[in-house]
Structure 1
Amino acid sequence: MFEVEVKYRIPSHDVIKDKLKSLNARFLEHTEETDIYFNSPIRDFAKTDEALRVRVYGDGTVVLTYKGPRIGSVGKTREELSVTVNDLDNLLEILRRLEFKEVARVVKRRDIYNYENFTIYIDTVEGLGSFVEVETMVNDKELINKATEEVLQLGDRLGLKRDWIERKTYLELVLEKQSANKP
């Protein structure tokens, strides 16, 4: 599967929530997520544009996700493979014993909405601020460009300005901030 996503840095949640309401988008849930990112002992994911993430949801669910390199120039489209795991401590220990190194944690509060075949995430990310992610999934690489345009069009309908698009991942933004804050 390919996750076709465009992320926007936004000044306020209020405008987007009003637009979602006017479109009759369905509120799904509020959740808190902690993402723990790892780097490989055999290649540098920062150089290969890959990611290995352990996501811990507020309800205790744990999901291990591999994200391939970004595809395309607008959003953050990637191949994504995930598996749910029932033991966070053992998963983290396995990764450590295989010499994967934790590089950062991203903590966010997230409101999730559904509109047609799109998922809209309104995020508050610790230390980074407010964002909206608009995404859809496709199973054929040939559909990525069409899906990207549909995501952008929905962003336009939601009042999200294209110059608000943020191509960097939360991980990249957190690492940049950490680097800027080092003495």
Structure 2
Amino acid sequence: MIEVELKGYASDEIFQRVRDEFEFIRKEYHEDTYYQHPCRDFSETDEALRIRIRRFNGHFEAFMTYKGPKIDEHSKTRKEIEVPLSDPDKHAEILESLGFVEVLTVSKVREKYYVEKGIIIALDEVEGLGKFIEIEAMTERNEDVPQLIDKLRAILTELGVERFERRSYLELLLEKEGANGEA
């Protein structure tokens, strides 16, 4: 599956426009723990491997997700493979036993909104970074990607997004830590 995703910096006004205009799905709490491959530098290959723990409405879900390199220059579109986990701690233990190293955990509060069939908006408040808006659609066909990117960008622009961001929250946090001498 190909995840077509655009992300932009958001304000309280943009958050409110989304809340007023689209159908609320749910509020989620995410803890995304990222891992570094023992033989390959994901920062060089533009890949990611994470375990996400998601909590909402008294429920708990966990997933392992692999994200391939971005496939275009204007969005965060990439191949994504995700599998549910019944015991994320044991899966983390397996990864670490195989030589994977935990890099960082990204914590965020996410509000999800339904735009139309196949398109979801997420309002994210990321610990240490602030407010962002993400919009995504999934496709199996590479030829659908440019048209989807244009459609998603138009929606975000109409909501008032002026500044887009291709870097992941992990990349932004690592960059921020490096700038503060903490990395």
TM bracket, shorter-chain basis:
over 0.9
Query: Which residue is equivalent to 1:66?
Result: 66
Contact 2:9 2:161 in 1 (8 A): no
Aligned residues: 178
What is the distance in 2 between the residues matched to 1:72 and 1:32? 29
Query: Which residue is equivalent to 1:27?
Result: 24
What is the distance in 2 between the residues matched to 1:29 and 1:39? 31
Moved more, 53-62 or 26-35: 53-62
Contact 2:33 2:52 in 1 (8 A): yes
What is the distance in 1 between the residues matched to 2:174 and 2:95? 20
| 1:149-164 superposed matches below 5 A | 149-161=150-162, 164=163
* 1:76 is the counterpart of 2:73: no
Where structure 1 has 5 or more consecutive residues not aligned to the other structure, the ranges are none
The percent identity for this pair of structures is 39
Using the size of structure 2 for normalisation, the TM-score is 0.93
Deviation, structure 1 residue 153: 1.0
| 1:9-28 superposed matches below 5 A | 9-10=9-10, 12-22=11-21, 25-28=22-25
Query: Which residue is equivalent to 1:96?
Result: 96
Deviation, structure 1 residue 16: 3.3
CA RMSD of aligned residues (A): 1.2
Structure with a larger share of its residues in strand: 2
Contact 1:123 1:130 in 2 (8 A): yes
What is the distance in 2 between the residues matched to 1:60 and 1:95? 21
Query: Which residue is equivalent to 1:169?
Result: 168
What is the distance in 1 between the residues matched to 2:25 and 2:131? 19
What is the distance in 1 between the residues matched to 2:110 and 2:8? 14
Which of 40, 45, 55 pairs up with 2:37? 40
Give 1:171's aligned amino acid. L
Contact 1:108 1:123 in 2 (8 A): yes
What is the distance in 1 between the residues matched to 2:49 and 2:150? 27
What is the distance in 2 between the residues matched to 1:67 and 1:31? 21
Using the size of structure 1 for normalisation, the TM-score is 0.93
Deviation, structure 1 residue 26: 1.0
Deviation, structure 1 residue 13: 2.8
Query: Which residue is equivalent to 2:5?
Result: 5
Q: Are residues 160 and 45 of structure 1, via their aligned partners in 2, closer, same or farther at CA, if it must alter by over 3 Å?
A: same
What is the distance in 2 between the residues matched to 1:18 and 1:131? 13
Could you report, residue by residue, the CA deviation over 1:140-179 in whole angstroms, capped at 9, with x for unpaired residues? 1111111101111111222222xx1011110100111111
Contact 2:14 2:161 in 1 (8 A): no
What is the distance in 2 between the residues matched to 1:147 and 1:95? 34
